[in-house]
Structure 1
Amino acid sequence: MGRVLVTGLGVITAIGNNLEENYQRLRNGTTGIAKASYFESLYASQLPFGEVKLASETLAEMLGLQNEKGYTRTCLLAVKAFEEAIADAALTAQDLSSFDTALVSASTVGGMCLTDQLYEDANLRSRGSEYLSAYGCSAHTLKLVKRYYIRGFSDTINTACSSSANAIALGARLIRAGRASRVIVGGVDSLAKYTVNGFNALKILSSQPSKPFDENRDGLNLGEAGAYLVLESEEVAGDKRVYAEICGYGNANDAHHPTAMSDNAVGAIRSMKEALETAGISPSRIDYINAHGTGTPNNDQIEMFGISQLFDKVPPYNSTKSYTGHTLGAAGAVEAVVSILSIKHSEIFPSLHVQTPIQEFNHAPAGTLMENYPVNYVLSNSFGFGGNCTSLVIGKV
C-alpha cells in the first residue's frame, strides 16, 4: 500500500473565504460566530451562527455562476472550496477528467437549505422550480462532476457529522487499494431551516457562542462551510508540494441512541484505536487532537472520557467549532484542513470561550496560540448522529 499525500486544500467557513483567511483568523483567535446576516429564519435574530460572510448572489458572481440554474447555496459553497483545492494542487482539466481521478464528497443538508422552496415544490404549490433536481445530498457532487468533467468514480456520503471525515477515509482507501491514483475529498453544508429547527427541537442550540469543553457549556452553534482536500498517491504526487499524509482512519458505531453518544464512549474509543492501528503508531505519538468538541453537555463529556481512556498523557487539544460553528457534513473536512495547518505551521490554535474546564478531567484545551510546537501526528475526531464515529490520523511528511 502506497502513501496517501495531501497536495491541495480549499476551504470557506465563517472565518474566511479561503485557506489563508482561515489560517490568519485561527492564529488570531477570531471567531466567526455571530448573528446571521443572510440566513432567513425565525431564529436568525435570536441565535448565533457560523455563517459564511457572503450572500449567495455575491458568491455566485464570484464564481461566474450567476446565470446558471439550480445552484443552491450548498452547491455554491462546494464549488468555491473545490476550485481553491484543485488550483492549489495545480490539477489540469486532463487530470480532473482522468479515470484515475475520483471524487468523494459529503453533505447532510444538501439542497434542503432551500427549505421553503422544497416545501412549495413537494406540495405542488409551485409549477416546479429550477431546484427540483437540487434537493438531494448528492446534488452538489453531480454539479461538480458535470462542471469539471469528472469521469472517474464518484460518491456522496451522508453519515451525519462524520460525513466528510468518512469521505477522506474512503478516498485514502481507494488510493491504497490501487482503485484511484487521485481522489478529491471533502464536504459541504449550508445553514437551513430544516436543520436549525431540528437541532432547536433537540434543545442543543446555545444562545451564546459555544464553549466546547467548558464546565458550563450549554449547546452548539450551527455553521456552514465547504472544504476539499486533494489526495494523491506518492507516485502521482511526484515532486509536488505536499502538505501532509493521511496515515490512518477508523470508523465505528456505538449503536446507542439516535442523537447521543454512549456513556462509555464505545464508538469513539474504537474509531480512535482503529485510526491509530491503521497508521501503525501508538497513542503516545499523537502531538495534537482536533476534537469533535461540539459544546453540548453529552458530546464533550463522553469525548473527553474516551480520550482519557486511550491516552496515558492527553496531548494538547482544541475544538475549532468555537470558530466556525458546527458545520455538520463539512466538519470533518474543515477540521482536517485545520489539522494540516497546525502541522504545516507548527502551531496549535486556541480553543475559544473556555473559562472553566470540565472539572472531572484535569485536561484543559489549548487556551492560547501554541507557536513553534512540533506537530508530527494529529488525531482528528468526527462523531455523528446515530453513533457513527470516525477518526483520522494525519501526519507530517
Structure 2
Amino acid sequence: MSKGVAITGMGIISAIGNNVPENFHSLVSSKAGISKISHIDTIHANEIMVGEIKTTNSEFEAQLQLEENSYSRSPLLGIIAANEAIAKAGITNINDYKTGLISSTTVGGMDKSEQYFYEFFNSKNHWQHINGLHAGDSTKKIAEAIGLQESFVTTISTACSSAANAIMLGARMIKSGRLDRVVVGGTDALSKFTINGFKTLMILSDTYNTPFDENRKGLNLGEAAAFLVLESENIVASENREVLAYVKGYGNSNDAFHQTASSENGDGAVLAMEKALKVAGLKPEDIDYVNAHGTATPNNDLSEGRAMLRIFGEGKVPDFSSTKAYTGHTLAAAGGVEAVYSVLALQNNRIYPNLNLKKHMKEFDLRPQTKVIEKEIKHVLSNSFGFGGNCSTLIISKEA
C-alpha cells in the first residue's frame, strides 16, 4: 500500500470564514456565504448570487502592510491563506529545507487589469496591474510574501481542477525526493470578466445553488484561497511535527469530451477516481465520505453522480455531499478549499450537509447527506472537475 504524504499545516479564507476555525464552524452550523454582489460594479449585480469575501482589497493591504492599490485580489487572498498554513505547521524558517510553492489560479490579476484596461494605451500609471494579469504573477507575489528563496515555484491553471493538481504535484515532488516541503493550493478572486464569462455560458444561478437537486439552476461563483503544507517523513520526524492528515491517493485524467461540459457518463471522473484509489492502495468500500465536486449545474451533477455509481456500485455509494452551496464555486481554488474541508472532516469525524436540497434527481437513486453526521472517518475522496475535461481526484486519509 502506498504511503501518504504528511499534511502539517493548512490555511483558508472564503465566503464562510477568514481562517480554518471559522470555516469549520460555518460548515457544521449550515451557515452559507452566498449573497448578492456588493464589491464589484457589474450590470449583473441583481441577477446572480455569489460567494463573496466581504473584506476589501484596501483592508487586506493594510492588514498585510502593503502599499494601497499595489496588489490584485487573488494574491492578497493567497497570502492570507498561505501565511495561516505555514504558521499552523510551526514553520519559522521557510528556507531551512528544500521548499517549493505550487499555486493555482484561473483569474490571476483580472480584477485589477480589467479596471485599468482602457488606460492601457494612454497611461502607465497602473502598469503593474496590466503586467499582473497573468497567472504566475500571483504565485510570485505569494512566494515573496512567505519569504521563499531559491526554490521551486510554479503555477498550475487547469480550470477548476487546478488546486487539486497542485496538491497532487506537490505530493509527487516529495515522494520523488525532489523537495522536502511544498506549500500547495490555489487562489481566485471574483471579477467582472469571470462573471460575464459564466453568464454567457448560462450556468449561473439567480438564487442559492442547489447541488444534486432535481431543479438545480446552476452555480454561484465564489472567491477563496486555500493552501496546505506538505512535508516529508524526514521533516516530520526531525521537527516532531503534528500531522493533520495524509495525501494518500491522487489521480487526474482528461475525458476530451467537450470544452466546458463533462462527459455524460462521467468517463473522465471515473478514470480519475480509479487512479486515486490505485495510488492509495484502497478499494472503493474503504472510502467513508466523498466531498463531491457538485457544482449544481445540470451537466456536472448528472455526470458526477453516474461516475460515483460506476465506481462504488448501486446502493454502495458512501456518504457524500457538495460544499459549494456554502462557498460558491471558487474555480481554481476549489480543490484546495475542499482539501481543507476533507482534513477537517477527518479530524472531527464530521460529514457536512448538502445544503438547499429539496427534490432528489430523477436519473438515479443517489441521496447526498442533508444533515451534519458524526461518524468515524478514515478516508475522504475529494473530486475536482474542470473545463476542458480536466478531472482530478484526491484521497486524504488519517493514516499514512
Report the TM-score range of the alignment, normalised by the length of the smaller protein.
Answer: over 0.9
In the TM superposition, 1:165-314 aligns within 5 A as: 165-238=164-237, 239-312=240-313, 313-314=316-317
Q: Would the aligned equivalents of 1:75 and 1:143 in 2 still touch at CA under 8 Å? A: yes
User: Is 1:87–2:67 an aligned residue pair?
Assistant: no
Identity in percent: 46
In the TM superposition, 1:1-397 aligns within 5 A as: 3-65=4-66, 67=67, 70-93=70-93, 96-98=94-96, 100-121=98-119, 123-129=120-126, 130-150=128-148, 151-238=150-237, 239-312=240-313, 313-371=316-374, 373-397=375-399
Q: Give the partner amino acid of 1:147.
A: A
**Hey, what's the Cα distance between the residues in 1 that align with 2:294 and 2:3?**
32
Q: Give the partner amino acid of 2:387.
A: F
Structure 2: segments with no counterpart, 5+ residues: none
Q: Would the aligned equivalents of 2:113 and 2:130 in 1 still touch at CA under 8 Å? A: no
Q: How many residues align?
A: 392
**Hey, what's the Cα distance between the residues in 2 that align with 1:297 and 1:68?**
42
Structure 1 residue 356, shift from structure 2 partner = 0.5
Structure 1 residue 44, shift from structure 2 partner = 2.1
**Hey, what's the Cα distance between the residues in 2 that align with 1:125 and 1:266?**
49
Structure 1 residue 146, shift from structure 2 partner = 2.1
Q: Would the aligned equivalents of 1:6 and 1:232 in 2 still touch at CA under 8 Å? A: yes
SS of 1:10 mapped into structure 2: strand
Structure 1 residue 69, shift from structure 2 partner = 6.1
**Hey, what's the Cα distance between the residues in 2 that align with 1:78 and 1:110?**
11
**Hey, what's the Cα distance between the residues in 2 that align with 1:145 and 1:310?**
38
Q: Would the aligned equivalents of 1:3 and 1:234 in 2 still touch at CA under 8 Å? A: no
CA RMSD of aligned residues (A): 1.3
Q: Would the aligned equivalents of 1:188 and 1:226 in 2 still touch at CA under 8 Å? A: yes
Structure 1 residue 134, shift from structure 2 partner = 1.2
SS of 1:110 mapped into structure 2: coil
Q: Give the partner amino acid of 2:137.
A: A
**Hey, what's the Cα distance between the residues in 2 that align with 1:132 and 1:298?**
35
Structure 1 residue 140, shift from structure 2 partner = 1.2
Q: Would the aligned equivalents of 1:120 and 1:126 in 2 still touch at CA under 8 Å? A: no
Q: Give the partner amino acid of 2:178.
A: R
**Hey, what's the Cα distance between the residues in 2 that align with 1:12 and 1:125?**
36
Given the two structures, how large is their TM-score scaled by the length of structure 2?
0.95
**Hey, what's the Cα distance between the residues in 2 that align with 1:157 and 1:99?**
23
Structure 1 residue 84, shift from structure 2 partner = 0.4
Structure 1 residue 41, shift from structure 2 partner = 1.4
**Hey, what's the Cα distance between the residues in 2 that align with 1:171 and 1:73?**
24
Q: Give the partner amino acid of 1:328.
A: L
Structure 1 residue 128, shift from structure 2 partner = 4.2
Deviations 1:123-181 (A, max 9, x none): 41432413233111111110122233312111100000000000000000000001001
Q: Would the aligned equivalents of 2:139 and 2:155 in 1 still touch at CA under 8 Å? A: yes
Structure 1 residue 336, shift from structure 2 partner = 0.4
Structure 1: segments with no counterpart, 5+ residues: none
**Hey, what's the Cα distance between the residues in 1 that align with 2:200 and 2:146?**
39
Structure 1 residue 263, shift from structure 2 partner = 1.1
**Hey, what's the Cα distance between the residues in 1 that align with 2:393 and 2:265?**
17
Q: Give the partner amino acid of 2:223.
A: E
Q: Give the partner amino acid of 1:53.
A: K
Runs of 4+ in 1 over 6 A off after TM superposition: none
